[in-house]
Amino acid sequence: MKKPFVTNEQLQKIVEEYPTPFHLYDEKGIRERARNLQKAFAWNKGFKEYYAVKATPNPFILKILQEEGCGVDCSSLTELMMSEACGFSGSDIMFSSNDTPAQDFQYAAKLHATINLDDFTHIDFLNSLVGIPETISCRYNPGGKFAISNTIMDNPGDAKYGFTKEQMIEGYKKLQGLGAKHFGIHAFLASNTTTNEYYPTLARILFELAVELKEKTGAHIAFINLSGGVGIPYRPEQQEVDILAVGEGVRKAYEEVLVPAGMGDVAIFTELGRYMLGPNGCLVTKAIHEKHIYKEYIGVDACAANLMRPAMYGAYHHITVMGKEDQPCDHQYDVTGGLCENNDKFAIDRMLPKIDMGDLLVFHDTGAHGFSMGYNYNGKLRSAEVLLKEDGTTQLIRRAETPKDYFATFDFTGLFDQY
Ligand SMILES: *Cc1c(COP(=O)(O)O)cnc(C)c1O
């Protein structure tokens, strides 16, 4: 059974202070995951996790991760700015973008971030803007299908990202000619994987590529970035990834492929978002309407603008009706938000305890790609974000949007001054 990281008693107090809906984050859980990840890769001297800012772009969260020794993975101008404001700089920042605007590259270069190029043509683009730095990374796309022991995980051949194998070789040669001295290899081949084999399988592919690149181009490979993609069990019957086993699997590939090639000094990087934060956040909402037509509906005060994954991917988010954890799940509901879109359903045909108006519903695992995918459709406002601290107190780490925020981009008109 999935249990929220907050008890009903705690939550009843929290909602007295912060009106629903809001995203709640668990500081203790975040620190624990960061420490376990460090432990899993402690065998690698240069190991570093670059937290994927896009998963939860909140400076208070980034600060916690910074205290745990993490860097940040940015993909846009504002993510770079937020990281800068939090005190990240230089090699604390990985800039893994694609279809990158010139000003983003310029800002990344200004911060001396490590730039991870998404395409061969970006070599000339970057060179003409700011020159080629001594340390640079390239994103690899092996094409075809990506399988783990005969199970197809994803389809890199259809993905827009990265260099082909031939482009990696030509790219490293070209970059060396333009002054690059230390190289990274990056790839992200499957998302939200819950097998312990994802990183080890990916690592072996990248390690073999690293050996080939070194042989064919003479480049010094300084790091290999396994990027994101380690998943979490959104459903109660799914298994948690064993991160220590994952670290061991990568170590085995490292010792079998890199060490014999005289490359035992290569640093391993990760850019985990979902794994680090997903289970450490939840969306807290209140049941505000019930509707009995051809189906039974519960309307809550959150909508897809606060959590887009169910509407966008049909994603499952477990729901706990607070205070009714021990009651039988003998009612079948669609749990909906208020957007004028029929896909604004957090759950369809979900068996839950009988829900009464005013009940608090917790949507699990919204800590990554939750708040951050929010939007303002239907004029809905983004919610607050609240941090449950290690000592049990709470801190507002983002206030809820107000109508004034929504109208802010019309501030030149004078029309909305009254709000
Ligand atoms: C989204 C993303 C990540 C994080 O992915 P998760 O699935 O949240 O771990 C890491 N790196 C890059 C380049 C990404 O685009």
* Length of the chain counted residue by residue: 419
Residue 100 half-sphere exposure, CB side, CA atoms within 13 Å?
A: 33
C-alpha Rg value of the chain to the nearest Å = 23
Q: Where are the beta strands (DSSP E) in 293-402?
A: 296-300, 319-321, 331-336, 345-352, 360-363, 384-388, 394-398
Atom of ligand 1 nearest to the CA of 191: 7
Fold match, 26-278 / 279-407: no
Rounded Cα gap, residues 25 and 202, in angstroms: 30
Atom of ligand 1 nearest to the CA of 231: 7
For residue 217, give the H/E element and its range. helix 198-217
> Does residue 164 have its Cβ closer than 6 Å to ligand 1?
no
> Does residue 353 have its Cβ closer than 6 Å to ligand 1?
no
So where are the chain's domains? Answer: 26-278, 279-407
Atom of ligand 1 nearest to the CA of 272: 9
Q: Residue 96 Cα, ligand 1 centroid: separation in angstroms?
A: 9
- Which of 33, 72, 73, 95 has the most ligand 1 atoms within 8 A of CB, as the residue to mutate? 73
Reduced to 3 states, what is the DSSP secondary structure of residue 295? Answer: coil
**Class assignment of domain 26-278?**
alpha beta
Going by CA atoms, what residue is nearest to atom 7 of ligand 1? Answer: 229
Rounded Cα gap, residues 344 and 137, in angstroms: 40
> Does residue 139 have its Cβ closer than 6 Å to ligand 1?
no
> Does residue 135 have its Cβ closer than 6 Å to ligand 1?
no
- Per-residue pLDDT tens digits of the chain, which is 419 residues long: 899 999 999 999 999 999 999 999 999 999 999 999 999 999 999 999 999 999 999 999 999 999 999 999 999 999 999 999 999 999 999 999 999 999 999 999 999 999 999 999 999 999 999 999 999 999 999 999 999 988 999 999 999 999 999 999 999 999 999 999 999 999 999 999 999 999 999 999 999 999 999 999 999 999 999 999 999 999 999 999 999 999 999 999 999 999 999 999 999 999 999 999 999 999 999 999 999 999 999 999 999 999 999 999 999 999 999 999 999 999 999 999 999 999 999 999 999 999 999 999 999 999 999 999 999 999 999 999 999 999 999 999 999 999 999 999 999 999 999 99
**Class assignment of domain 279-407?**
mainly beta
Atom of ligand 1 nearest to the CA of 368: 8
The pTM assigned to this predicted structure is: 0.97
Contact 45, 267 (CB under 8 A): yes
Going by CA atoms, what residue is nearest to atom 13 of ligand 1? Answer: 96
Going by CA atoms, what residue is nearest to atom 3 of ligand 1? Answer: 228
